[in-house]
Structure 1
Amino acid sequence: MVHQVGGWACTAAAVGGQALRVLVSWHAAEVLLPQGSPSSVLTGRSVRETEHCKQKWKLLLQPHSRAMKLYILLFLAVVNKGISTYRPSEESPCEMVNMEAICHSKDLHHIPPELHPDVNKIDFSGNQIQNIPLKPLSFYTSLQHLDFNSNQISFIEQGVFAHMTSLVEINLAHNRLDRFIQHRTRGVGLLPNVATLDLSHNSLYNGMTEYFTHEAPSLQYLSLAENSITLISRRTFQGSPALVEVDLHSNIIMEIEEGAFEALLNLSKLNLSMNSITCIADFSLRQLQILDLSRNSIESFHTTESEEEFNLTWLDLSENKLMYFPTFPQVNKLVFLNLSKNLIQLSAESPRDGCKFDTPDLIQTCQISL
């Protein structure tokens, strides 16, 4: 095939061991130069014009010709059309720094498609993005960190993250994910290797957590802080068994179903502060190391009877309505206990009688407001 460009014609080439054939047009002359052929087929106004055309073409084909180098680059670009290449756009709203796209506060309403295909971090925070569709985000398969903090997101297409195996962190804080249920979807789908997920400040309520964590086998840190959750059920964390830290502070939690956290064998830190919890009965989370229950309305705290060792080392029960000392496991690792701003009435010997633990120095760490 010949594509006319000025007086010269673009070449058509075959790849994969086939002969390179060059077809050149100069005015009305046509030169066919099959590789390895001893002769050429010439047609045109005159042999002289044709020879002139051939000489020009031979100059172009000289090994050190700059034009030849440019031609080769153009040829390779056409041949490799199917290979993903980055063509920077002068109109791109984002700044690229070391494979990180900085798109913060650019008044974006959609995810731009012209970012580098190998980008590993994108900051979309502070924009007006409402939806996360499958394309173009799924094209960025090298993404590791994705920040959508402070947008207007109310819909995420199912499966958008399923093939992003490098993605380890997603920040969706300060959006409108409470409207997600209106789209009647089963959820965002698989999060294959996501370890950190921030869903705080989204007005989420009961049953909505599962839309985002139902298929999150690698999730270790989850923030559900400052939402509108009133109940933690046994289904809430079923799809994310690897959780290590869960932040639920500043919700309206009044009930925690039995066994809601027991399947989370790696859970070591749990923040339930600033909720509406009134009592803790049969506390049995042996795997926990840090537990924050401050600023609730807890009147009693009881631990299940067990001779097994509990790993709890840090417990904050401050600013509750405790009237009596909490009962703790017989074998424990407590080193910090905050009971300040409760209703506990103490006699002269009450602190020592009430703080009987295996850790000798714990008595000195009890912070009690009289």
Structure 2
Amino acid sequence: MNIIFCSTLLVSFLTNIVWPRTIRAMDDQPDPYNWLFYTFECPQECFCPPSFPNALYCDNKALKEIPAIPARIWYLYLQNNLIETITEKTFVNATQLKWINLNNNKITTDGIEKGVFNNLKSLLYLFLEDNYLEEVPAPLPTSLEQLRLARNKISTIPEGVFNNLENLTMLDLHQNKLLDSTLSSNTFQGLSSLIQLNVAQNSLTKMPPILPANVMQLFLDSNSIQAIPEHYFDAMVKLVSLRLNNNKLTDGGLQIKVFNISSLLDLQLSYNELTIIPAISIHLEHLHLDNNRINSLSGTQMCPIPIPGDYAYERNLPQLRYLRLDGNGIKPPVPLDLMLCFRLLQALVI
């Protein structure tokens, strides 16, 4: 009796060991909580956090090449390395990538194999800032939502590179080598969802020819722009923030109501060559005009509506909250008509 009982226990014990192993071997999907599996699969040079199994951290490792990327990875961090090339085999298994950060490497235009990003059909964010690119990489996947290419050497934008990027909401090209000749009327065609466009710190002397109508934030600081064409912003009915600091704008280069844009809330024109305050919309809330050549200030001339009476409703008043005019030739006191016009003003810097 004792022998039979022990045999039964032995069979039960072996069954508990072998049977689960058999089942697991038949299952193609690894246990998402199996830390040993993810550790084994993780490239030796990188870190795979068990609590974030879809992320791969290979940043700040002095890498010269991109290691093999496991198929499960969605978020790939490769910034601050010495990587020079990106080949098609790099992402052969990582077809589910949504986020790639390759900032601050040594990647050149010739170092990117053509079409390497286009095969990543789920890619949403691509960061290639602080590299040595001379042109925008092409082609790019239609899924892309953010493309950051700041602080490269880009002087060329291949024709049609943005045509199919209907999901792109942010395009950052600041601090490159863009010229007026780089941008044509078709350059940004197709970017129907674009919200933010940053082309600051380039070598533009003119406004970009045609911009998408949905742009809400337009940054053109630190170029050499001298004039803005009449009706330039008429089609940009959603523009909220416009920055043109550090350019060469003059009174003669601005049509009288070029900035009278009903959607505009923030207008920055610091460090230009203006002598007259341009006309603004009643809806504008922040106006930066410091370090120009403005010598006089008149609320009557500046007010976007006739000076309101004592019993005007707040919603009918000019909405300006912040006005900066320091670095000009304006001296106190502040004109009374200015305060009568802009009654919601919270900060005035002279």
Change (3 A) 1:218 1:210: farther
Superposed counterparts of 1:85-164, under 5 Å: 88-89=40-41, 92-97=44-49, 98=52, 99-113=54-68, 115-154=69-108, 155-164=111-120
Change (3 A) 1:302 1:360: farther
Give secondary structure in 2 for the equivalent of 1:94. Answer: coil
Match of 1:312 in 2: 264
Deviations 1:117-153 (A, max 9, x none): 1111111001121122222314212222110001111
Match of 2:175 in 1: 226
**From 200, 208, 223, the counterpart of 2:150:** 200
- Contact 2:124 / 2:145 at 8 angstroms: preserved in 1? yes
- Contact 2:148 / 2:173 at 8 angstroms: preserved in 1? yes
Query: What letter corresponds to residue 323 of structure 1 in structure 2?
Result: T
Change (3 A) 1:90 1:292: closer
Aligned residues: 289
- Does residue 289 (structure 1) correspond to residue 240 (structure 2)? The answer is yes
Match of 1:188 in 2: 138
Give the ranges of 4+ consecutive aligned residues of structure 1 lying more than 6 Å apart after TM superposition: none
Query: What letter corresponds to residue 343 of structure 1 in structure 2?
Result: R
Structure 2: 5+ residue runs without aligned partners?
1-9, 30-36, 306-315, 330-350
Give secondary structure in 1 for the equivalent of 2:299. Answer: helix
Change (3 A) 1:126 1:251: same
- Contact 1:94 / 1:101 at 8 angstroms: preserved in 2? yes
- The offset of 1:158, in angstroms, is 3.0
Deviates most, 360-369 or 309-318: 360-369
- Contact 2:38 / 2:48 at 8 angstroms: preserved in 1? no
- The offset of 1:293, in angstroms, is 0.5
For 1:362 and 1:355, locate their aligned partners in 2 and report how far apart those are by CA, in whole Å.
13
- The offset of 1:162, in angstroms, is 2.9
Deviations 1:198-251 (A, max 9, x none): 10011111x326575343221111111111112243122124232100111211
- Contact 2:282 / 2:319 at 8 angstroms: preserved in 1? no
Match of 2:273 in 1: 321
Change (3 A) 1:279 1:127: same
**From 258, 263, 269, the counterpart of 2:217:** 269
**From 321, 330, 342, the counterpart of 2:292:** 342
**From 238, 254, 262, the counterpart of 1:302:** 254
- The offset of 1:298, in angstroms, is 0.8
Match of 1:32 in 2: none
How many percent identity over aligned positions?
A: 23
- The offset of 1:360, in angstroms, is 3.3
Structure 1: 5+ residue runs without aligned partners?
1-58, 182-186
Change (3 A) 1:112 1:257: closer
Cα root mean square deviation, aligned = 3.2
Query: What letter corresponds to residue 118 of structure 2 in structure 1?
Result: A
Give secondary structure in 1 for the equivalent of 2:300. Answer: helix
Structure (1 or 2) with the larger CA radius of gyration: 1
Which structure shows the bigger proportion of residues in strand conformation? 1
Superposed counterparts of 1:165-176, under 5 Å: 165-176=121-132
